[in-house]
Structure 1
């Protein structure tokens, strides 16, 4: 199933996750990979985490709330119908956003359309086995673009696919308030998140699992 988008009505949920050290490390690593590319489109750019690391980024998002916080250049638009001509970007990224779409292939095909020959597509997503230490109170639901299926989906559009996975203890939640906030970023309602957090012993280190998936032609 696709993950609901609530960025206009609940921007705090997005901010709780996007400001974490683990999120910043993700964007720093991605910026390193994008350094050789002069013009990058960040699809589902949010409020500009990638742009903070990569000044060559053009942000695109369907949420006006997110775009207001993103530095220019920024464009309102949808991943499945990009408002750009063919072949105008050197790289296209989709960071933790393709699982919002009922059919991620539409967005992946659009990404290829706006890439120049030899350009790079990068998708980032989590695994269904993410954060196993929270299994007693929360488990990730299967989505339309999990790390388990993401390489095959990207491979339906791009001839060459490279996968860089992560599976390591990357996030430490120091107290129950931190556990509650983490659960809120995973779409648990705040009151329910607080109750679940009360059942977790802290500090708690979470194993983060997911992947960067690179596509090229």
Structure 2
């Protein structure tokens, strides 16, 4: 059995009812990338696979459907989508956004746990899981489920972060709340730890890196990022004040700019035919 990890970031109830009940907290973090980075993450991901001209696509962790709003013209109109997320609220948002595009039919939408997918073996041509497998108690079990529901020769599109991504932001968090000066959430399925898991299971695995650097000029955006997730979202007044002070000091050291390095990529994984 794959090893399981215990963290608030793979607590199913917390993720479903609090952090991802809707897209508001996720949007606060996405704002930082869209405003100060390349801003083309979803379009870039959509351009990486060789999509089938037609076929069934399962998206795990669909969120608010932001990927599909950026996927044309890369993803063919002949694809039929099954949109899933642990959060029913996210699924509802994704369906509204995707159907509003009038490009891809949404064949099915439902709240699911990616550790135990309610779909038949070999039933999808493509399975996509962007920045979500590290939320599972056992990411390897989630990968096994992806492999199970993929048809022979099918494609898995799997994105995650590198171990030290955005360490400059996590150092600010650690200065106030303690803990590691990096994102330990992704340790079980980072770019570094995910690759051997995927290579054990898929016939072909290719990693494509997404180079990006954030040059942030507004301290309020950094505070909003930290306030959208633990421990910042439960900060005491004293902790909140300390966090603002630490952020302001970091901007002062950088002459008004906080530079944040990112390590992000997508694995293109082909199941044996």
What is the TM-score of this pair, normalised by structure 1? 0.87
The residue aligned with 1:141 is 183
CA distance in 1, matches of 2:82, 2:48: 16
Structure 2: gaps spanning 5 or more residues = 72-76, 96-105, 174-180
Moved more, 180-189 or 200-209: 180-189
Q: Which residue of 1 aligns with 2:149?
A: 114
Q: Which has the higher strand share?
A: 1
More deviation, 74-83/159-168: 159-168
Counterparts in 2 of 1:23 and 1:157: CA distance versus 1, 3 Å: farther
**2:134 matches 1:99:** yes
Stretches of structure 1 lacking an aligned partner (at least 5 in a row): none
Q: How many residues align?
A: 216
CA 1:185–1:149 in 2, change beyond 3 Å: closer, same or farther?
farther
1:189 matched to 2:232: yes
How far the C-alpha of 1:92 sits from its partner, in A, is 0.7
Greater fraction helix:
2
The one of 56, 70, 73 equivalent to 1:53 is 70
| Structure 2 CA distance for partners of 1:109 and 1:167, relative to 1, 3 Å | same
Return the offset for 1:123: 1.2
1:41, 1:59 within 8 Å by CA — same for their partners in 2? yes
1:13 paired with 2:25, answer: yes
Q: Does 1:203 align with 2:257?
A: yes
Post-superposition CA distance 1:152-197 (Å, at most 9, x none): 111122122111123432x232211011122235534144454542
CA RMSD of aligned residues (A): 2.4
The whole-number CA distance in structure 2 between the counterparts of 1:145 and 1:162 is: 16
Aligned partners of 1:156, 1:186: CA distance in 2, in Å?
33
Question: 1:119 and 1:176, CA in 2 relative to 1: closer, same or farther beyond 3 A?
Answer: same
TM-score, structure 2 as length reference: 0.70
Larger Rg, first or second structure (1 or 2):
2
Q: Distance in 2 between matches of 1:120 and 1:108?
A: 12
CA distance in 1 between counterparts of 2:169 and 2:117 reads 37
